[in-house]
Structure 1
Amino acid sequence: MVRLIPMAFAIPLLAGCTANAMETHEAGAESLSERDQRRMAALLDGKTPGDPQPCINTRPNTQSSIIGNQMILYRVGSTVYRNDLNGICPTLRSTSTIVSQRYGSSQLCSGELVQVRDPLSGAGFGSCALGEFVPYREE
Structure 2
Amino acid sequence: MAKFITLSFALAPLLASCAASDSSAPRAEALTPKQAEQLDKQLAGKVAGEPVRCLPTSFSTDTIRISDNILLYRQSGRIVYRNDLKSSCPGLGRDSDIMVVRQFGSSTCSGDFFHLVDRSSGIRGPTCVLGDFVPYRKPDGDKG
The TM-score normalised by the length of structure 2 is 0.67
* Structure 1 counterpart of 2:129: 129
* Structure 2 counterpart of 1:99: 100
Q: Evaluate the alpha carbon distance shift between residue 18 and residue 94 of structure 1 in structure 2; reply closer, same or farther with a 3 A threshold.
A: same
* Structure 1 counterpart of 2:36: 37
Instruction: Report the CA distance between 1:43 and its aligned residue.
Output: 0.7
Flag structure 2 segments of 5+ consecutive residues without an equivalent: 140-144
Instruction: Report the CA distance between 1:17 and its aligned residue.
Output: 4.6
Q: What is the alpha-carbon root mean square deviation over aligned residues?
A: 3.4
Counterpart residue type for residue 30 of structure 2 = L
Q: CA separation in 1, counterparts of 2:109 and 2:89?
A: 21
Q: Evaluate the alpha carbon distance shift between residue 56 and residue 92 of structure 1 in structure 2; reply closer, same or farther with a 3 A threshold.
A: farther
* Structure 2 counterpart of 1:58: 58
Deviation by residue 1:51-109 (Cα, 9 ceiling, x = unmatched): 433223336x8232233333211123323111122x21343531153221458x66423
Q: Evaluate the alpha carbon distance shift between residue 111 and residue 16 of structure 1 in structure 2; reply closer, same or farther with a 3 A threshold.
A: closer
Secondary structure class of the residue paired with 1:114: strand
Q: Does the 8 Å contact 1:65/1:94 carry over to 2?
A: no
Q: CA separation in 1, counterparts of 2:18 and 2:49?
A: 38
1:88 aligns with 2:87: yes
The TM-score normalised by the length of structure 1 is 0.69
Q: Percent identity?
A: 29
Q: Does the 8 Å contact 2:50/2:135 carry over to 1?
A: yes
Q: Which has the higher strand share?
A: 1
